[in-house]
Chain A
Amino acid sequence: MTRWMQHTIGRRGWQPRNQAAVLLGLALILALVFAGVYLSQVASYAATNREISALIEERDRLEFANEQLRVEIASLKTIPRLLDRAQQLGYRYANPSEVQYMVIDGYNPNRDQTVVDLETRDTEASAPQYEETFGGWLQQQFDSLSRQFEGFGR
C-alpha cells in the first residue's frame, strides 16, 4: 500500500501528454461508436415507424373506401329503391292466379344442408409445423449474417 501511495503521489506532478491523448482518443472513439450505434438504431426505428404510419394510413384509406362501397351497396339494395327500379323496368306484383307451381323431378327442397366443419379445418390449418433442426438453424443464422456483410465495402 505504501509503495503504491509513494508511486502515485510521487508521480502527481508528472503529465504524460501522450498517454492522456491516447486515453482521450479512445474515449472519443468509444463515444463515437456508441453514438453511431444509437443513431443508426434511432434512424432505423424512425424509418420503420414511418413505414408503419404509411401502412396504417393506407389501411385507413382502404377501410374507408370499403366502407364507402358497403354503404353504397346497402343503399342501392334497399327495398324501396329495388321496388322503384323494378317498376321502372316494367315489373309489378304478381296476382295469386298468375303464379304457377310445378313438380320438378328429383328436386327436394327439404334436403339436408351441407355443413362444413370450419372450426376443425381451421385448427388443422393453423397448427404450426416444426421441421427445423439445430444445424439448419445455425446455417440460417450464418447465411443471414453473410447476407448482411455482402454489400460491405462496395
Chain B
Amino acid sequence: MTSATRQQSHQLDTINRRLPVVILAMVIGSALLLLALASFQWLSPEVDREFRARGIANTTSVETIPAERGMIYDRDGEPLAFNQIEYRFGVSPNLVTDPALVARELALILDLDEFDIYRKITNTTSSWVSITDNGPVSAEIGQEVLDNEALTLATTKDRVWRRFYPQGTLASQILGFTIDENATGAMGLEAYYNDELAGRAIDEIISTVPLYAPEAVDEVRQEGMDLVLTIDRDLQFLVESRLAQYVADNSADSGTIIVMESRTGDILAMASYPTFDPNNFVSEDAELLTTPAITDAYEPGSIFKILTVAAALESGTVDENWTYNDTGELQAASIVVRNWNEQAYGVRNATDVLVNSLNIGVATMAMEMGPDLFYQALRRFGVGALTRIDVSGEASGLLKEPGDSDWSESDLLTNSFGQGLSVTPIQMITAANAIANDGLMMQPRIVQQRIAGDIVQNIEPVVLRRVIGVDTAHMVRDMMVQVVQDPNGANQAAVPGYSIAGKTGTAQIPNAVGYESGTSIAGFIGFFPADDPRVTVLIRLDRPAGYWGSRTAAPAFSDLAEQLVLYLGIPEDSVRLNLAAQGGQTSTVR
C-alpha cells in the first residue's frame, strides 16, 4: 500500500514536471502553425487574391445587364429604328419531373422537334441545356412559354434585344443594320454612331448564397443615346419612290438622289436604288449592303463644269466680258479636246460655256488659270477629300494633282469637264451647294440631335469654309439659271413658275481599256428657288437607255422638284415675292 502510494506520488511528480513542457511545446507548435497559416493566407497577396476569387466564384455568379440600344428618329420624331425583346430559353434537367411533358410543351410552342428536346433533357449530366440553339424567339412566343405552368420551374430565360426597322426598306442605306446578339452596328448610322447608340452594359455580381448582400457595382449602366436625324421620313419616301420610277422609266441599272437643305447642309433625303431591307439583310445581295450616295465614286462629267467656271471666276481669270473662239477642237498637252456633239461654236462667253456644256470652253478656262489655281480651287471645293458626313463607309474619290506620279498636263484639261477624276454624290452636292449658299460650304450632316435621358444635345450646322465670294456665287447661279431656261440648255429640268439653277451631266464610264461604249452616268444638279435657295438636289442615273443627262436626269429633276415645292411649301416665284412684299416669310424648310 505504502509502496503503491509512493509509486503514485512518483508518477504525479513526473507528470508535474513534464506537463508544463508538453503544454509549452503544444502552445509554441500551435502558434507556429497559426503564423504559417496567417503568412500563407494574408501576407501573400497572390494567395490572398486566389482564395478570395475562389470564394467569390463559389458564392456568386456574374450577370451581364445590357444597355438598351438607342432609338433613331426622323426630324419629326417618327421612329426609324428601335428594339424588340426576344428570348433565349434553356432547361435545368435537375428540376424537370416529367421530361416528356416539358419536351412536348416546348416543342409545341417553339415549333421544335419534341424528341430532340426530350433527348437534350434526359441525356445530359449538365445542370443546364440550351433549347433555342437556332437563335432567340420572338417576345410573343416567349410569352407563351412564360405563361405555361408546366414549364415555369424548369425553364430559364434570357432576354435579348433585336433591332427593328419599322419602315422596312425606307432609308435603309442611311440607317444601316446591326449584327450579332450584341446588336453591333455594321453599316451606315448604326456603325458610325455605334458607341453612342450602344450605351454601356455592366457585369453585376449576383450572390448565390441567400444571406449575402449583392456586391456593390461601381460602374453605372448607361442606356444608349437616341438620335434625331435631319432626314424627313415623308420626303425620303417621296424621293425613294420617285427614284425607283425614274430608274424603271429610263431602263437604268441604278440611281441615286440626294436632297440637301441649302442653308444648313442638312440631308433631308438620300436614297439609292436598288436598296435592301435591314430587317432581313442576311438574305439580301451583299453588293446592296452599302450607301452608294457616299461610297460610289464616279466621273461626274459635265455637272463638274460649274466648279471649273466658279474657280475661273473667283480667280479673276474669267469675268462677264471673257470670251474664247470655239473651233470644235482644242489640241493641247498631247490630246485633242472636242465638244460633246463635236461641233464648233465660234466666239462664246462664260454663260454660253455652261448653257451649251462646252468641253473646249472649260478646258480653255483651266488652261488660262493654270494648274496651281485650278487645283487649289478644287481642293477648296473638297474634291478628292472626305466630306466627313456622319455615316459610315464614306469614300474620298480621286483627284490627281501636279506632283503626283500619275498626273500629266492632259489631266488639267480633262478634269475641267469632270473626267479623269472621281467624286462621290455627297462630295458633288456639298461642293455645288456652296454655290447655292453664297459661297459658303456647309458640313453635310444626317444627325441633328443626340438625346441621353433628359439631356438633349443639339448639333448645330457647321460652315466649313468660304470657297468662293458672294458675287462669284451669284454669277455662277445666274449662269445655271440660264442653263435651265435656255432651249439649248437643260430646259427639261424647268418647273413652270419657279426659277431653277442647274446643270446636266453625261459622264462616260471608265473601264480597263478606256471608256465603255454606249453607256453613261446621267446626272443633274440644281437648286431652287434660285434667288433664295431652299434645297439643292442631285440626281444620278446609272446606264440609262436615254444616255444623255438632259433626256433622262433633267426631266426626273423637274418631276421631283414639282413634288418638292408642294411638300416644302415653296410658292411660285411671283407669289413668293408678292408675299414677301407684304411681309410674309417663307424661307425656312418647315
A93–B562 alpha-carbon span in the complex (Å) = 12
Residues of B within 8 A of A75 (CB): 166
Interface string of B81-100 (1 = CB under 8 A from A): 01011000000000000000
A110–B566 alpha-carbon span in the complex (Å) = 19
A90 at the interface (CB under 8 A from B): no
Would B210 and A2 count as touching, CB distance under 8 A?
no
Would B583 and A103 count as touching, CB distance under 8 A?
yes
Say which residue of B79, B168, B453, B565 sits within 8 Å of A70 (CB atoms).
Answer: B79
Q: Which of B15-23, B119-127, B471-479 sits within the interface?
A: B15-23
A33–B190 alpha-carbon span in the complex (Å) = 60
B582 at the interface (CB under 8 A from A): yes
Q: Which of A15-23, A39-47, A130-138, A144-152 sits within the interface?
A: A39-47
Do most interface residues of chain B lie in helix, strand or loop, or is the interface mixed?
mixed
Given A64-B143, A71-B84, A110-B588, the answer on whether A99 and B79 have CB atoms closer than 8 Å is no
B503 at the interface (CB under 8 A from A): no
A5 at the interface (CB under 8 A from B): yes
Q: How far is the CB of A6 from chain B (nearest CB, A)?
A: 8
Which chain A residue lies CB-closest to B455? Answer: A119
Q: How far is the CB of B90 from chain A (nearest CB, A)?
A: 16
Would B19 and A5 count as touching, CB distance under 8 A?
yes
Residues of A within 8 A of B584 (CB): 101-104
Which chain A residue lies CB-closest to B571? Answer: A101
A46–B81 alpha-carbon span in the complex (Å) = 40
Which chain A residue lies CB-closest to B142? Answer: A64
Interface residues in B553-590 (C-beta closer than 8 Å to A)? 562, 565-566, 569, 571-572, 575-576, 579, 582-588
A51 at the interface (CB under 8 A from B): no
Residues of B within 8 A of A79 (CB): 167, 170, 233-234, 237
B456 at the interface (CB under 8 A from A): yes
Would B164 and A71 count as touching, CB distance under 8 A?
yes
Say which residue of B146, B576, B587 sits within 8 Å of A57 (CB atoms).
Answer: B146
Given A79-B233, A109-B586, the answer on whether A41 and B210 have CB atoms closer than 8 Å is yes
Would A122 and B234 count as touching, CB distance under 8 A?
no
Would A109 and B143 count as touching, CB distance under 8 A?
no
Interface residues in B489-508 (C-beta closer than 8 Å to A)? 497
Interface string of B152-194 (1 = CB under 8 A from A): 0000000100001011101000000000000000000000000
A129 at the interface (CB under 8 A from B): no
Residues of B within 8 A of A102 (CB): 579, 584
Which chain A residue lies CB-closest to B575? Answer: A101
Say which residue of A64, A70, A78, A103 sits within 8 Å of B579 (CB atoms).
Answer: A103
Would A96 and B20 count as touching, CB distance under 8 A?
no
A79–B76 alpha-carbon span in the complex (Å) = 14
A46–B571 alpha-carbon span in the complex (Å) = 70
Residues of A within 8 A of B237 (CB): 79
B12 at the interface (CB under 8 A from A): yes
B320 at the interface (CB under 8 A from A): no
B216 at the interface (CB under 8 A from A): no
Do most interface residues of chain A lie in helix, strand or loop, or is the interface mixed?
helix
Would B585 and A77 count as touching, CB distance under 8 A?
no
Would A122 and B455 count as touching, CB distance under 8 A?
yes
Which chain B residue lies CB-closest to A82? Answer: B234
Would B233 and A110 count as touching, CB distance under 8 A?
no
Q: How far is the CB of B370 from chain A (nearest CB, A)?
A: 44
A122–B19 alpha-carbon span in the complex (Å) = 76
Would A119 and B454 count as touching, CB distance under 8 A?
yes
Say which residue of A1, A61, A103 sits within 8 Å of B20 (CB atoms).
Answer: A1
Interface residues in A62-103 (C-beta closer than 8 Å to B)? 63-64, 67-68, 70-71, 74-75, 77-79, 93-94, 96, 99, 101-103
A70–B80 alpha-carbon span in the complex (Å) = 12
Interface residues in B14-57 (C-beta closer than 8 Å to A)? 15-16, 19-20
Residues of B within 8 A of A119 (CB): 454-455
Count chain A residues whose beta carbon lies closer than 8 angstroms to a beta carbon of B.
37
B139 at the interface (CB under 8 A from A): yes
Say which residue of A38, A99, A108 sits within 8 Å of B585 (CB atoms).
Answer: A108
Would B84 and A67 count as touching, CB distance under 8 A?
yes
Would A46 and B210 count as touching, CB distance under 8 A?
yes
Would A77 and B85 count as touching, CB distance under 8 A?
no
A118 at the interface (CB under 8 A from B): yes
Would B16 and A77 count as touching, CB distance under 8 A?
no
Q: How far is the CB of B21 from chain A (nearest CB, A)?
A: 12
Which chain A residue lies CB-closest to B13? Answer: A2
A78–B80 alpha-carbon span in the complex (Å) = 10
A41–B212 alpha-carbon span in the complex (Å) = 11
B211 at the interface (CB under 8 A from A): yes
Residues of A within 8 A of B223 (CB): none
Q: How far is the CB of B551 from chain A (nearest CB, A)?
A: 24
A75–B166 alpha-carbon span in the complex (Å) = 7
A5–B18 alpha-carbon span in the complex (Å) = 13
Given A78-B167, A118-B456, the answer on whether A70 and B82 have CB atoms closer than 8 Å is yes
B78 at the interface (CB under 8 A from A): yes
Would A96 and B166 count as touching, CB distance under 8 A?
no
Would B166 and A78 count as touching, CB distance under 8 A?
yes
Residues of A within 8 A of B78 (CB): 77
Ranked nearest first, the 7 interchain pairs of A and B with the lowest CB-CB distance are A74-B166, A103-B584, A101-B571, A79-B237, A45-B210, A118-B454, A103-B582
* 21 sample A-B contacts, Cβ–Cβ < 8 Å, listed by A number: A1-B20, A5-B19, A42-B210, A42-B211, A57-B146, A60-B146, A64-B140, A67-B139, A70-B79, A74-B166, A79-B167, A94-B566, A96-B497, A96-B562, A96-B566, A99-B566, A101-B571, A101-B579, A104-B584, A122-B453, A122-B454
Further pairs besides A45-B211, A78-B168: 19, Cβ < 8 Å: A2-B12, A41-B211, A42-B210, A63-B85, A64-B140, A70-B79, A74-B167, A77-B78, A93-B566, A96-B497, A101-B569, A101-B571, A101-B584, A103-B582, A109-B588, A110-B585, A110-B588, A122-B453, A122-B455
